Amino acid sequence: MNTKAEVESSPIFRIVKKATMRKYPWIKDMYIGSDEDIKKYQSMMFIDINIDAQQLAEERGWTLESWVNPDLQRRGFGRNYAHTVYLSIMYKPENSTEAMALQTEVDNEIKRIQNSASIPDEYKISKTFGISDIKYFFPPQPDNTTITN
């Protein structure tokens, strides 16, 4: 597998993605960032994930950091998402230890699924999947335009 498309259409990736997203419903998508990410390391293949950080906050009783605010990201950075490599950074310090543990749990779950004995050997790959980038895409902005006839 040498391209993003090949990895994402492979049985092992599809199995890992489906099982992980089923267990963690706040994970909304998993994908390979780019073709370069596949070739970057000998033993690792990094996965980017899209999450609903607000859903996770509500599920766990956590509070989002102010920099994750959609208005700030849209006005300050001109983007419709916040991203980080560490889940713990998106949440207040009192939630960071739990968030770090959750990210480790998700990474371990991905590895467990990937190495499961129930997956046929012909589906397995020599590289270990791991989370690289976490993005929280914001809900669409409400349309404040008024239509008059």
pLDDT tens for the chain, 149 residues: list them.
788 999 999 999 999 999 999 999 999 999 998 888 788 888 999 999 999 999 999 999 999 999 998 988 888 888 999 999 999 999 999 999 999 999 999 999 999 999 999 999 999 999 999 999 999 999 876 665 555 55
Residues 6+ apart with CB under 8 A from 127: 41, 42, 43, 44, 45
Which sequence spans correspond to the domains of the chain? Answer: 4-137
- Which of 32, 57, 62 minimizes the C-alpha distance to 45? 32
Q: Beta partners for 84?
A: 134
